Amino acid sequence: MDTLQGMLEGGDSGPALTLGNPKESLIIKAVQYSNAELQMPPKNKMGQGTIAHLREWIAMGAPWPGKFTPDTAQPRERAQ
C-alpha cells in the first residue's frame, strides 16, 4: 500500500484497486469488513466518513502525487 503501482498490481488476492470502481476494489471490501478473511485495519474498522473518502478517491481514479500515473503502470504478470 506504499505505491499506486503496488496497489494496482496487488497480491495473492488480486489488485487492491479497480480505478474508477470502488465497488470492485478489494481495499473497499477490506475496510468495510464485508469479507471475514480480508479486513483492514485488522483490529478496528475505519469510520464511515473515512471509508466514504476512500471510495471517492478511487472513483476519481486514485490520483497519486509524483510522476507515476495509472496510464504508465506496467502490471507484472502473475505466476499461476
Q: Give the CA count within 13 Å in the CB-facing half-sphere of 31.
A: 18
The tens digit of pLDDT for each residue in 22-61 reads 999 999 999 999 888 889 998 889 999 999 999 999 999 9
**What pLDDT score does 69 carry?**
55
Q: Which residue has the higher pLDDT, 16 or 2?
A: 16
In degrees, to the nearest 5, what angle opens at C-alpha 37 toward C-alphas 62 and 50?
35
Q: Is the peptide bond before 41 cis (omega within 30 degrees of 0)?
A: yes
Rounded CA-CA distance 67/78 in Å is 25
Indicate if the pLDDT at residue 71 is higher than 70: no
Closest CA to 28 of 58, 6, 4, 5: 58
Q: Name the pTM for this structure.
A: 0.74
